[in-house]
Amino acid sequence: MLFYVLIDKEEVMRFSPVPEMDKLSKKVLRPGLPLSYLQYYLKDLISSDKITFKKKLQNIETSIINQLVKGLKKDEAIVETQFNWQEGFQSKIHLNEEIFSRIITAIQGRLITEGELPVIARTIGISEKELLVILNEAVSRGFGDWLPAISRNQAGWICERCNSNNRIQEWPSLYGQAATCKECDILGAQTSLQTIFKFNPANLHLEQPLLLDHDEDQLDEKWSIQFTTAQANAAKKLIEYTEEQKAREVLLWAACGAGKTEVSFPLIARYLAQKKKVLFTAPRQDVAHDVHPRLLKNFPKVSIKLMSGAVVQEFKESALTVSTTHQTLKFYRYFDLIIFDEVDAYPYSGSAVLNHGLKTALSESGQIVYLTATPSDELIKKASSGQCPIIRLPIRHHGHHLPLPQWVKIPLKVDNPLKTEPTLSGNVTESLDTILREVMLKGPLLVFVPLVAMVTEWIKILQKMFPLKTVDGSWSYDPKRREKVNSFQEQKYDIFLTTSILERGITVPGVQVVVLYADHQIYDVRSLVQMAGRTGRTIDSPTGTVIFLASSETKSMKDARKWIQEQNTFAKQEEVQNA
Amino acid sequence: MLSQILHRIKEGAALIWYEQEEECLLCSNLAKEIICQSCRDLYFRPELNRCNTCGKLIGDNKIRCSDCQEGKGPKCLTRATALGHYSGAWKDLIQNVKFRGQPYLLAYLRGYVDDWVIKNFPPPDVIIPVPMHHSRIAQRGFNQADVLASILSGQLGIEYQDALYRNRATTAQTSLGRHERLNNVQGAFSLKKDVDIKGRIIWLVDDVVTTGTTLDECAKALREHGASDIYGICLAAGIEEILEK
């Protein structure tokens, strides 16, 4: 998008994408330039508040042109540098206030990229130009700001969406060097030639719609699952810490299959009843898509919006938003409460970009509740130092304990990073056959392998070993992933092979877990605990077998056993107390 | 001892192999070339012929597509060809280049795309990109055809000239039917001043070809100024309808 330099009657300079619609402009400079270049080249002329000149310049108009020409020349731009001042326009278009407030409501709290403008315009039913005029008007009323998608400063480039400067790709453009941010390009790559509109919540207080008709006295009786005593206690504590004590961050550490998601529902209801905006987010798409229908069922009267890379974007206001964590980059200081599920999962864990997204999506007084079965060391440290209250939910919803993984020593080794086809000696094949055959008597088998390429190889091996069984598998970019996973959940396969993508969130009745190459460096304690947690999740088959097959026992394997044991001990204590 | 040494050698060999592997630009799987064999089979469709006139993908028993056979195709182009079918991940890549600000992605095709063109067409005197209207370049910051032409020129050491000029901004060809396309671009191109192409062989470069109308309009302007042979080169083309079913 190109911006034009405007000077109004009070000798104040502004940048506008729609100069012909600007009521107050006295003079307009043409042609336009991308905003990042205008801001960079003219930074010496303007003071920090961006619009008034540092000193009374003798000849502002010439100075501006000189600065631009000088800058472009220095950058070896090949664009025409014949700038001309033209008389400003008197706008004949009157803004329809009703449409204006409708649109502002629809884009509340959002950070809008240039690529999203046509989509928004189409959804609302206006032209892109009209939308630009409205957004520009919002900027002049103080409801938002225009920013370059990638800003330029002395030190280089910085992405205004993800705040990152370490994966910026430069390329030669018409205006000299331009930049694209590769760190957040999964949401649609942005360049330094583009602009973003950032909503500014400070000056706007719109009336919230009626969100929820909720009877606060019957909290634990309205949900789709019957709360156990442990769940009800955890839900109560969550409200106590979050709503009453106003903790900025709360950690709910639950056993795999304890029903931690539902535990957050009463809190969500309380916040919605107060017309606060709530986001339920998880790093993985599978989890977000799984939670969405559960929220719909439990909050039938609430407008709930799902946002992920897999669904078409809607621009409508909603009280409750469910999204992947990547989508938080599309918000700016908006949510009062964020429920963050599976906080330790890839790709959030260790991602500075997603951390930035989460922090900026939160309103200034906003709160975060972390839900996890395997908290990171950092979170545990925070909790133990008292920075963040912790709630433990060690008992599974059916009251049974977590199955403890067994390590079976078997000489299984990845000997070559490229060779995925394993060479199995007769002995190994034989013991594998015995072990798997025995486990399979108890239910369908979920087999984890450390590398994507191993999935297909092991499908072949196991199919050969068990010709009468149905064997299949899936991996992260398998186009039929969702379909196959659904079939596995409907128990259409006897053996299902996968990588860590299915280590979380999935429930398959009666499933037994085998981890091949459990000593592989790719598995940390958290993924091993999560994989073990796939067993015994339903009330009809609350127990199960977990087997780690490996030639040696790593620290992660030992720790995983220790974590599960601890969780079970904790559960016993809790049971005694509750009884 | 011996087994240990052998193991070391094996490890070393694995490392060397490992370094040679790279990620396929289209599917991110490990591959020996920038585009892996299965993506090439899937999107480049080496089993299909290219229409000799407009570059469209056609059956292996044909030389021209039905439209060109009926005389509806380009008149001024000598020949045209396309690297792949405008579909799937290949289409995504081209769209990422054009609409999502990632022209540098084309640089990954260096060494691959020039290799392919030189096998198909006689070497030219000059490589010329299909121009973009200045208002569109001002927004996008680059012309993808220009980037591609510069890559070919740099790789093959053949002269590059931004010789053509787009007189007017046209509607995107993709949104139009065959007949409208012709009207849309008719007379839209002219040769820049002081450019001499008399008797020269030209490679005319664009990103996508559908009916060949744009290439042909450019070729017309070049022919009028005495160009001898004009070969149209594109990254992607459509596929003949009968084949699609």
pLDDT above 60 (res B203): yes
Q: What percent of chain A has pLDDT over 70?
A: 92
pLDDT score at A215: 46
Do A444 and A302 fall within a single domain? no
CATH number at residue A515: 3.40.50.300
Distance CA A172, CA B142 (A): 8
> Which amino acid belongs to residue A511?
V
Do A42 and A136 fall within a single domain? yes
> Helices A426-440 and A452-465: crossing angle, nearest 10°?
80
Residue in B100, B104, B141 closest to A175 by CB: B141
Do A520 and A551 fall within a single domain? yes
Residue of A1, A36, A173 to mutate for B, most B C-beta atoms under 10 A: A173
pLDDT above 70 (res A321): yes
pLDDT score at A112: 93
Nearest to A518 by CA among A533, A534, A543, A500: A500
Residue in B96, B102, B142 closest to A174 by CB: B142
Q: Does B66 touch chain A (CB under 8 A)?
A: no
**pLDDT interval class at A98 (50, 70, 90):** confident
Which residue do the tokens 């996508």 mark?
Answer: B208
Q: What percent of chain A has pLDDT over 90?
A: 47
Is residue A134 within 8 A of residue A315, CB to CB? The reply is no
pLDDT score at A454: 86
In chain A, the number of structural domains is: 3
Do A156 and A99 fall within a single domain? yes
Is residue A62 within 8 A of residue A118, CB to CB? The reply is no
B192-227: burial string, b at 16+ Cβ within 10 Å, e else: eeeeebeebbbbbbbbbbbbbbbbbbbbbbbbeeeb
* B138 with A174: Cβ contact below 8 A: yes
C-alpha dihedral over A5, A51, A101, A2, to 10 degrees?
Answer: 30
Residues of B within 8 A of A80 (CB-CB) are 134
C-alpha dihedral over B154, B155, B159, B161, to 10 degrees?
Answer: -60
Q: For A458, phi and psi rounded to 5 degrees?
A: -75, -25
* A2 with B21: Cβ contact below 8 A: no
- Domain boundary among the residues A393, A416, A437 is at A393
> Helices A229-239 and A265-273: crossing angle, nearest 10°?
40
> Which amino acid belongs to residue B194?
D
Q: What integer is the mean pLDDT of B15-30? A: 70
* A180 with B102: Cβ contact below 8 A: yes
Work out the end-to-end distance of chain B between its first and last CA atoms, rounded to an integer number of angstroms.
62
> Which amino acid belongs to residue A242?
T
Contacts of A374 (CB under 8 A, 6+ apart): A344, A525, A526, A529, A530, A563
Residue in B14, B99, B101 closest to A193 by CB: B101
* Mean pLDDT estimate for chain A: 86
Do A278 and A328 fall within a single domain? yes
Q: What integer is the mean pLDDT of A17-32? A: 84
Contacts of A205 (CB under 8 A, 6+ apart): none
Residues of B within 8 A of A167 (CB-CB) are none
pLDDT score at A56: 58
B98-143 pLDDT, tens digit per residue, is 988 899 999 999 999 999 999 999 999 999 999 999 889 988 999 9
> Helices B178-185 and B213-224: crossing angle, nearest 10°?
30
pLDDT score at B8: 65
Contacts of A482 (CB under 8 A, 6+ apart): none
B73-101 pLDDT, tens digit per residue, is 899 999 999 999 999 999 999 999 998 88
Q: Does B18 touch chain A (CB under 8 A)?
A: yes
Do A8 and A123 fall within a single domain? yes
Most confident of A50-64, A400-414, B146-160: B146-160
Q: Does B103 touch chain A (CB under 8 A)?
A: yes
* A193 with B102: Cβ contact below 8 A: no
A225-257 pLDDT, tens digit per residue, is 788 888 999 999 999 999 999 999 999 999 988
DSSP A296-315: HHH-TTS-EEEESTTS----
pLDDT score at A216: 47
Do A189 and A274 fall within a single domain? no
pLDDT score at B183: 84
Do A302 and A450 fall within a single domain? no
pLDDT above 70 (res A53): no
- Domain boundary among the residues A393, A425, A444 is at A393
- Domain boundary among the residues A370, A393, A416 is at A393
Q: What integer is the mean pLDDT of A294-299? A: 90
* B139 with A417: Cβ contact below 8 A: no
Distance CA A40, CA A77 (A): 14
- Assess if residue A92 is contained within a domain: yes
Q: How far is A200 from chain B (nearest CA, A)?
A: 26
Do A276 and A192 fall within a single domain? no
pLDDT score at B13: 56
- Assess if residue A215 is contained within a domain: no
> Chains A and B: how many Cβ contacts under 8 Å?
57
Q: The tokens of A530 are what?
A: 């999560």
* A173 with B104: Cβ contact below 8 A: no
In order of their start, the domains of chain B are: 46-244 (3.40.50)
ipTM score over 0.90, yes or no: no
Please name the helix (run of DSSP H) or strand (run of DSSP E) that holds residue A74, with its range, or none: helix A60-74
pLDDT score at B242: 66
- Segments forming the whole domain that contains residue A319: 225-393
User: Max CA-CA distance within chain B?
Assistant: 79
Residue in A191, A416, A418 closest to B101 by CB: A191
**pLDDT interval class at A87 (50, 70, 90):** confident
Do A146 and A38 fall within a single domain? yes
- Assess if residue A494 is contained within a domain: yes
* Mean pLDDT estimate for chain B: 88
pLDDT score at A213: 45
- Assess if residue A220 is contained within a domain: no
Residues of A within 8 A of B17 (CB-CB) are 418
pLDDT above 70 (res B178): yes
Give the ranges where A192-337 is alpha helix by DSSP (H): 229-239, 260-263, 265-273, 285-298
pLDDT score at B49: 93
pLDDT score at B21: 63
Residues of B within 8 A of A423 (CB-CB) are none
Do A366 and A441 fall within a single domain? no
pLDDT above 70 (res B17): no
pLDDT above 50 (res A218): no
pLDDT score at A220: 43
pLDDT score at B9: 63
Q: Which residues of A touch B (CB under 8 A)?
A: 1-2, 31-32, 34, 79-80, 115, 169, 171-175, 178, 180, 185, 188-191, 193-194, 415-419, 477
C-alpha dihedral over A36, A37, A41, A43, to 10 degrees?
Answer: -10
Q: Does B192 touch chain A (CB under 8 A)?
A: no
**pLDDT interval class at A3 (50, 70, 90):** very high
If you measure CA to CA, which chain B residue comes closest to A17?
Answer: B139
The total of other beta-carbon atoms located within 10 Å of residue A579's CB is 6
Give the ranges where A362-480 is alpha helix by DSSP (H): 377-384, 426-440, 452-465
Do A313 and A381 fall within a single domain? yes
Distance CA A148, CA A180 (A): 12
Residue in A175, A185, A418 closest to B14 by CB: A418
* B96 with A188: Cβ contact below 8 A: no
